């Protein structure tokens, strides 16, 4: 167990892979709104 182990977080970092233990970071957390949705909000 450790650096060379493919199933541990430390091993994933050493190898440079991703998986269940080390998921990739999401770029955007907030869903972008469309122009139609923005116009609808302005009218209310």
The pLDDT tens digits for 1-44 are 778 888 888 999 999 999 888 888 877 777 776 777 777 766 66
pLDDT of residue 14: 92
CA dist 21 and 11 (Å) reads 10
Domain ranges of the chain: 1-25
Assessment of whether the complete model's pTM goes beyond 0.85 = no
Provide the 8-state DSSP code for 19: -
């Amino acid at each position: 167990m450790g650096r060379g182990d493919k199933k541990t977080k430390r091993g994933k970092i050493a190898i440079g892979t991703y998986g269940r233990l080390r998921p990739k970071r999401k770029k955007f957390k907030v869903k972008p709104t469309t122009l139609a949705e923005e116009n609808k909000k302005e009218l209310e």
